[in-house]
Amino acid sequence: MAIESEVVKHVATLARLNITSEELTTYTEQLSNILGIMDQLDQVPTDGVEPMSHAVDVQIPERDDVVTNTNNQSAMLANAPDSEEGHFRVPKIIE
Amino acid sequence: MISDNYEYVIGLEIHAQMLTRSKLFCGCSTQFGATANSQTCPVCSGFPGVLPVLNREAVNMTIRTGLAINGQVRLMSEFARKNYFYPDLPNGYQISQFELPIIEHGHVNIELTKGADKKKGGPMKRIGITRIHMEVDAGKNIHEGIVGASWVDLNRTGVPLMEIVSEPDIRTPEEAGEYLKKIRSIVRYLGACDGNMEQGSFRCDANVSIRRTGQAEFGTRAELKNLNSIRNVMRAIEYEGGRQEDLLESGGKVIQETRLWDPTKNESRSMRGKEEAHDYRYFPEPDLPPLIVTEERIEQLRAKMPELPDDKKERFREQYGLNAYDAGLLTGSQRLANYYETVAETVTKAGKSDNKIAANWVAVELLALLNKNSIDIDKSPVSAVNLGNLVALIINNTISGKIAKEVFAIMFETGEAPGKIVKEKGLEQVTDTGAIEAEVDQVLKKHAKEVEAYRDGKTKLLGFFVGQVMKATKGKASPKMVNELLRKKL
Amino acid sequence: MERANLTIKEASDQLKERKISAVELTRAYLGRINALNEKINAYVTVDEQSALKAAEAADARIAKGEATPMTGIPIAHKDLFCTEGVQTTCGSRMLKGFKPPYDATVTTRLKESGAVILGKTNMDEFAMGSSTETSYYGVTRNPWDLERIPGGSSGGSAAAVAAGLCVAATGTDTGGSIRQPAAVTGITGLKPTYGRVSRYGMIAFASSLDQGGPMCRTAEDTAIMLQSIAGHDAKDSTSLNIETPDFSALLNKGIKGLKIGVPTECFGEGLEDDVRSAIDEAKKVFADAGAELVTISLPYTGVAIPTYYIIAPAEASSNLARYDGVKFGYRCENPNDLQDLYSRSRAEGFGSEVKRRIMLGTYVLSSGYYDAYYRRAQKARRLIANDFTKAFESVDAVLTPTTPGTAFKLGEKKDDPVQMYLSDIYTINVNLAGLPGMSLPCGFDGNNLPIGMQLIGKPLDEAGILRIAHTYQKETDWHSKAPDLSGIA
């Protein structure tokens, strides 16, 4: 299936990826090619087949409701590009 | 407000923070008010490679809530990712449930105030609950007082939430209020949530549309956010109804949007454009296999369910002979109900029982003082046993109702037992016939003129004599006996 | 230490017999790294100090007689296993300088076993690729031919093992990222059953497909290393809570009477002749050892590529949303506002293949396309898994080529994603089905480039395929061949 560059633009916005007009052209072409392979799935008889989300058939384990972590603020902020007074710092969020 | 030509169609989405010790998917504390980012770890902060592990207690609380709202527990449910970018959402997705929520098809019955009768209560209405699912809370973005930036605190990130989604069965702002109160009292009874709307541990979004009376189709709805009290929920719905009616009546159209309620201005504003085109791209959470709940587990949780508000209210009516209004009021919270039961039991132990007087003292006298002083029932300076003993003193004529109020005021002040106060201040009701007779004689002698007038037919003066005797005995004489003696002597 | 092809088994024996100390062994490997890594670029980070400290501790442990078979063995980690306090880049600019405050469970277990971690190996960015050309830290070269790719995404680990820059290494495999580089560099690599090895601390690409595993010289080594990393982990909800068998103990049972299935779908068009004939030769070895080769069919093999390239990018698009320039990792200069911070940090921090897959994954999950792509792919995935379930009713293991051809030239497929994706054709259905699979060397092509074959096992039957591989390696010596690097040292 060919894909419109408008759709690619929208997808880039959803994915929060700034793309140049050049990249838009490349991605539009490449995604169209890739989606061309995807269309092979149309031949697969999937009616009534249970979707498979997990590689193995197990159930979720549950843990006890116990607090196991202690204050680790400095380690949690150590990799932050910008932080201030124990907080992560980001450009002003306008609500 | 809307006119009679229209009716509301309202659905509520409640987010209730669960009272677990640790977060939904990691071992960080859920305690409110800690230093920023001190209750975080790689898992809740979205670090690379780390993985979620589900909190059993959160599942149990959700199942219990599901049972309390007459819901069906799915034996197989599934977590899903809801994808969007925001600084308070460190993973870039929220772990929630989407296609297969743990609870479905529930309902509660609410009591309508319109057409209510104090004795029998109001008409009941059933509100459907589409689903309850588990999800993680987001962190906090902080804007105020920070120049040129916002701050992010992830302490709240990952705290377990139940999202309780109603059917669009609610038709008036009052019903919305009653529904919220009902759900809040249920989660509080279960110890699943503290129900605190101001602090944000119990939050509500309202989906509101209006339609012409008699019309079957729903109108276009707006989603109202930032409703931090039941009162604000009701006011925001009223405002929204009015706004939509004005729009429709002036030939306009309601558009589907999110609106933010401003409680100080008493109006809402559109968030359109700010949230932009959301496409959450839900898909099953690959890090978490399906959640399988056994029938056995459900039955074990059911067996340990506490008595719920509706059942308790019914029992209060039957067991204590209370009217619907009092029973409803006293079972509004588990702690208040327990308090009342201790009062009634203490009264009964003391000899005669009178559940209605007991109810009156709790529901009127005590609650008035507690509310006035913003004191929680748990911290009441008057213990339930003390209040029970006070009521017992009234019933067995040790003190009059009037004296009882004085004693109660002292109890509230000092926390002392009523017996002690009565004794120390010599407030026992005088029931000794000889003593009262002496006072009566004194009064009649002193007011010879009035006695004559009474005997001439001015029988209304009886009240005057009673008053004089009570005054002379400092209110301690039994009013009944004073009346009897006066009649006899006159 | 001149040999590039020392095995864990040999090294472990020498350490125990005190013929060499762990410190000496470690220094020897650090020396080789110093001499060769510049040309091969297998490592992103070499941590000499920690390695020597660990080697000293290993020597003390050996002296006390408390050694495990991994104690004192110099190994390397693919640079997506988190290592506490040591840079973990995932091959991306996005994570340049990122020092995790935690260890991956695989890292922890290998540390506990006494292994010496030499450093972190290069990889395709976020494990997305089949050539290690998408790394922000430069391409890794194939030690057999420096103008060729070492495979990917665990190309740095494969090249390091093949060139003798470590005795063994960890890798991860989402669609073939252990097996394909193992094949094209002439080493042995195993992707365990999904859930056998904890994913905790292993930076996610596609969570329902990712699995870590050993990359070694031999099946015997693979069994040893797998033993130390496998087993239940409460920190990974998809980790299997079952006992781990003694893989080494099961190696020598022979393969007499075993049925090995050969799927017709994997020997059709697109398979290079040299690869085909190498596997034909291998079949004879198996038959001589008493196994029966049975022709089988895996009818849905053909749709594994579209299925995989929907599911993996979809999961990746979500897994990679956390790289937003807020908590860690790359942040663009002077963002105007929040959206600019996100869009520019991500655009500048990610390379083009990663962005392509994020876009693809975002697209297939987006409103209106979910059913057409994602859900349909999940159903096709079930059909692919069912193929194997059916096959394993009649055979004990499945034999296929690992790759359609040997190592291709650097840059050859870089700008053609579709061609690149097709090189995973024999490996990805194993991930989709969650099965154990391994690649082991079975010959060389006309250019003296290694050829690999793939063995696929029943769920949890790593021991079964290791046993077949070990039997094969007792009869052949492809696995002990090492590239001649004298020219570049």
Which tens digit of pLDDT belongs to each residue from B441-459? Answer: 888 888 888 888 888 888 7
**Chain A residues near residue B270 by CB distance under 8 angstroms:** none
User: With pLDDT > 90 as the criterion, what percentage of chain B qualifies?
Assistant: 59
Residues near C237 by beta carbon (within 8 Å), at least 6 away in sequence: A60, A61, B51, B52, B53, B54, B287, B288, B289
Q: Which helix (H) or strand (E) holds B128?
A: strand B124-136
Q: Could you tell me whether strands B257-262 and B222-227 are parallel, antiparallel, or unpaired per DSSP bridges? A: parallel
Which tens digit of pLDDT belongs to each residue from B392-416? Answer: 888 887 787 788 888 888 899 888 8
Of B273, B299, B325, at which residue does a domain stop? Answer: B299
Amino acid making up residue C91: G
Please name the member of B52, B92, B279 whose beta carbon is closest to the beta carbon of C322: B92
Q: What is the pLDDT of residue C489?
A: 66
Annotated active-site residue in C153, C228, C239, C439:
C153
Q: Is A68's CB within 8 Å of B36's CB?
A: no
**Chain A residues near residue B59 by CB distance under 8 angstroms:** 62
**In the predicted model, what is the mean pLDDT of residues C409-416?**
88
Peptide bond into C153 cis (omega under 30): yes
Q: Is C326's CB within 8 Å of B152's CB?
A: yes
State how far residue B33 is from chain C, nearest Cα, in angstroms: 21
Q: What is the pLDDT of residue B274?
A: 45
Residue A11 in domain: yes
**In the predicted model, what is the mean pLDDT of residues B68-75?**
98
Residue B221 in domain: yes
Same-domain status, B224 and B128: yes
**Chain B residues near residue C100 by CB distance under 8 angstroms:** 42, 47-49
Residue C416 in domain: no
Name residues 52-71 of chain A within 8 A of C (Cβ): 52-56, 58, 60-61, 63
Q: Which chains touch C (3 or more CB pairs under 8 A)?
A: A, B
Under the banding of pLDDT at 50, 70 and 90, the label for residue C118 is very high
Same-domain status, B151 and B168: yes
Q: Is C423 labeled as catalytic in the residue annotation?
A: no
The enclosing domain of C83 has a CATH number of: 3.90.1300.10
Which tens digit of pLDDT belongs to each residue from B13-61? Answer: 999 999 999 999 999 999 998 999 999 999 999 999 999 999 999 999 9
Please name the member of A16, A27, A38 whose beta carbon is closest to the beta carbon of C346: A16
Q: Rounded to the nearest 10 degrees, how much is the dihedral formed by the CA atoms of C91, C92, C95, C99?
A: 10
* Dist CA C208 CA B37 (whole Å): 30
Question: Is there a contact between B37 and A73 (Cβ–Cβ < 8 Å)?
Answer: yes
The number of domains in chain A is: 1
Name residues 4-23 of chain A within 8 A of B (Cβ): 10, 13-14, 16
Closest Cα to residue C54, out of C78, C75, C33, C82? Answer: C75
Give Cα separations from B278 to A29, B100, B470 (angstroms).
25, 21, 76
Please name the member of C100, C236, C362 whose beta carbon is closest to the beta carbon of B47: C100
Q: What is the pLDDT of residue B276?
A: 53
- Residue B309 reports pLDDT greater than 90: yes
Q: Is A56's CB within 8 Å of C378's CB?
A: no
Q: What is the pLDDT of residue B468?
A: 82
What is the residue range of B484's domain? 433-489
Residue A10 in domain: yes
Three-state SS for C293? strand
**Cβ-based burial of B285 (10 A; exposed 0-12, middle 13-18, buried ≥19):** buried
**Cβ-based burial of C1 (10 A; exposed 0-12, middle 13-18, buried ≥19):** middle
**Chain B residues near residue A80 by CB distance under 8 angstroms:** none
Q: Is C234's CB within 8 Å of A40's CB?
A: no
Annotated active-site residue in C177, C228, C345, C439:
C177
Closest Cα to residue B73, out of B90, B57, B55, B61? Answer: B61
* Dist CA B2 CA B242 (whole Å): 5
**Cβ-based burial of B424 (10 A; exposed 0-12, middle 13-18, buried ≥19):** exposed
Q: What is the pLDDT of residue B308?
A: 94
What is the residue range of C204's domain? 8-253+470-480
- Residue B90 reports pLDDT greater than 90: yes
**Chain B residues near residue A58 by CB distance under 8 angstroms:** 289
Residue C83 in domain: yes
* Dist CA B20 CA B113 (whole Å): 35
What is the residue range of A18's domain? 5-43
**In the predicted model, what is the mean pLDDT of residues A28-38?**
90
Residues near B168 by beta carbon (within 8 Å), at least 6 away in sequence: B9, B10, B11, B207, B209, B218
Q: How many residues does chain B have?
A: 490
Residues forming beta bridges with residue C144, ordered by sequence position: none
Residues forming beta bridges with residue C444, ordered by sequence position: C450
Residues near B470 by beta carbon (within 8 Å), at least 6 away in sequence: B477, B479, B482
Same-domain status, B336 and B238: no
CA angle B303, B306, B308 (to 5 degrees): 120
Residue A22 in domain: yes
Which tens digit of pLDDT belongs to each residue from B118-138? Answer: 777 888 999 999 999 999 999
User: With pLDDT > 70 as the criterion, what percentage of chain B qualifies?
Assistant: 98
Same-domain status, B318 and B418: yes
Find the range with the poorest average confidence among B377-381, C29-33, C144-148.
Answer: B377-381
Same-domain status, B200 and B219: yes
Q: What is the pLDDT of residue B209?
A: 95
ipTM of this complex prediction, to 2 decimal places: 0.96
Same-domain status, B158 and B280: yes
Provide the token pair at B395: 């019933």
Select the residue from B20, B24, B40 to test the A interface by mutation, using most A Cβ atoms within 10 A.
B40
Same-domain status, B68 and B122: yes
Q: What is the pLDDT of residue B431?
A: 67
Residue C384 in domain: no
Provide the token pair at C298: 């895996």
- Collect all residues from B whose CB is shorter than 8 A from any CB in C: 42, 45-54, 81, 83, 85, 87, 90-93, 152, 279, 281-283, 286-289
* Dist CA B59 CA B82 (whole Å): 19
Q: What is the pLDDT of residue B420?
A: 81
Q: Which residue has the higher pLDDT, C397 or B350?
A: C397
Same-domain status, B320 and B284: no
Closest Cα to residue B15, out of B226, B191, B209, B178? Answer: B226
Three-state SS for C117? strand
Residue B1 in domain: no
H-assigned helices in B250-306? 295-303
The number of domains in chain B is: 3
Under the banding of pLDDT at 50, 70 and 90, the label for residue A95 is low
Residues near C307 by beta carbon (within 8 Å), at least 6 away in sequence: A41, C377, C380, C381, C384, C432
Q: Which chains touch A (3 or more CB pairs under 8 A)?
A: B, C
* Dist CA B285 CA B95 (whole Å): 7
Residue B62 in domain: yes
Which tens digit of pLDDT belongs to each residue from B167-222? Answer: 999 999 999 999 999 999 999 999 999 999 988 999 999 999 999 998 999 999 99
* Dist CA B124 CA B112 (whole Å): 6
Task: Give C148-190 as a DSSP string.
Answer: B---SSSHHHHHHHHTTSSSEEEEEESSSTTHHHHHHHT-EEE
Task: Round the average pLDDT of chain C to a whole number and report it.
Answer: 96
Of B299, B328, B354, at which residue does a domain stop? Answer: B299
State how far residue A41 is from chain B, nearest Cα, in angstroms: 19
Residues near C164 by beta carbon (within 8 Å), at least 6 away in sequence: C3, C4, C5, C6, C29, C32, C482, C485
Q: Could you tell me whether strands C450-457 and C259-263 are parallel, antiparallel, or unpaired per DSSP bridges? A: unpaired
Q: Which chains touch B (3 or more CB pairs under 8 A)?
A: A, C
Q: Is A93's CB within 8 Å of B55's CB?
A: no
φ and ψ of B77, to 5 deg: -125, 175
Question: Is there a contact between B400 and B391 (Cβ–Cβ < 8 Å)?
Answer: no
Exposure class string for B147-159: b at 16+ Cβ within 10 A, else e: eebbbbbbbbbbb
Closest Cα to residue C242, out of C196, C190, C193, C194? Answer: C196
Give Cα separations from B129 to B7, B482, C135 (angstroms).
20, 61, 51
**Chain B residues near residue C365 by CB distance under 8 angstroms:** 83, 281-283
φ and ψ of B72, to 5 deg: -100, 135
Closest Cα to residue C193, out of B54, A58, B53? Answer: A58
Residue C426 in domain: no
Three-state SS for B124? strand
Neighbouring C-beta atoms of residue B32, cutoff 10 Å: 15
The enclosing domain of A14 has a CATH number of: 1.10.20
User: With pLDDT > 90 as the criterion, what percentage of chain C qualifies?
Assistant: 94
Which tens digit of pLDDT belongs to each residue from B212-271? Answer: 998 999 999 999 998 999 999 999 999 999 999 999 999 989 988 899 999 899 899 988
**In the predicted model, what is the mean pLDDT of residues B265-284?**
80
Three-state SS for B10? strand
Q: Is A73's CB within 8 Å of B35's CB?
A: yes
φ and ψ of C25, to 5 deg: -65, -45
* Dist CA B16 CA B277 (whole Å): 27
Q: What is the pLDDT of residue B35?
A: 96
Under the banding of pLDDT at 50, 70 and 90, the label for residue C290 is very high
H-assigned helices in C289-337? 304-319
Q: What is the pLDDT of residue A23?
A: 93
Three-state SS for B202? strand
- Positive or negative, the CA dihedral C5, C9, C15, C21 is positive
Q: Is C177 labeled as catalytic in the residue annotation?
A: yes
**In the predicted model, what is the mean pLDDT of residues C242-254?**
96
Which tens digit of pLDDT belongs to each residue from B76-85? Answer: 999 999 999 9
Q: Is C50 labeled as catalytic in the residue annotation?
A: no
Of B299, B321, B343, at which residue does a domain stop? Answer: B299
**In the predicted model, what is the mean pLDDT of residues C188-215?**
98
Three-state SS for B27? coil
Q: Which residue has the higher pLDDT, B360 or A61?
A: A61
Provide the token pair at B41: 């770890």
Q: What is the pLDDT of residue B273?
A: 53
